[in-house]
Amino acid sequence: MSLRDLHLLGSPVLREASAPVVAADDEVRRLISDLFETMYAARGVGLAANQIGVARRVAVVDAEGEKLVMVNPRIVEALGEDSAEEGCLSIPDVFAEVTRPDRVVLEALDQDGKPYRKELEGLPARAVQHEIDHLDGILFIDHLSLLKRKRIVAKWKKEHADDDGFVRPVKPAPAGSS
């Protein structure tokens, strides 16, 4: 396992549709381990492979007791509607109200390539949808009105005008933190 750098708003890989995984091999399992380690160190509840610069359909979620590995995930059913504040490790310190289905049925492969189906609701459902959006090149700000999105992007660009690029290292989480 190793910590990976996070790709931030403006990085082209965040807007790419990720390629499907052909086989859940050792390389994919290492990627999954790296995703979990990086997500925990960054104090997130989900992370998609393209957020660490890898355009493959792999993501992880750990929210409210639901720890999920998602290889080639897809939502096959969505019900209800809920609005809640979302943020993103690739757009740090930016939060906005996003409306999404409250309950979803997820189909994906696990780390060994075995298919599974899972019904989720609340925060785990929201996190799964957020991460699958990433795999499709969609950011949570794309769910906002054009005016709100433009305002957020303009503020982001102003605050990050002096940044050296669109990649940020993640520091290890302090011992004993969760």
Q: Map tokens 């019900």 to a residue.
A: 79
**Residues 144, 131: Cα–Cα separation, whole Å:** 17
Q: State how far the alpha carbon of 11 is from the alpha carbons of 106, 142, 144, in Å.
A: 28, 15, 20
Largest Cα span, the chain: 45
Q: One of 16, 121, 131, 159 is an active-site residue; which one?
A: 131
Tokens of 147: 């005016």
Q: How far is CA 148 from the centre of its chain?
A: 21
**Residues 60, 87: Cα–Cα separation, whole Å:** 16
Whether 131 is catalytic is yes
**Residues 42, 94: Cα–Cα separation, whole Å:** 15
Active site residues: 131
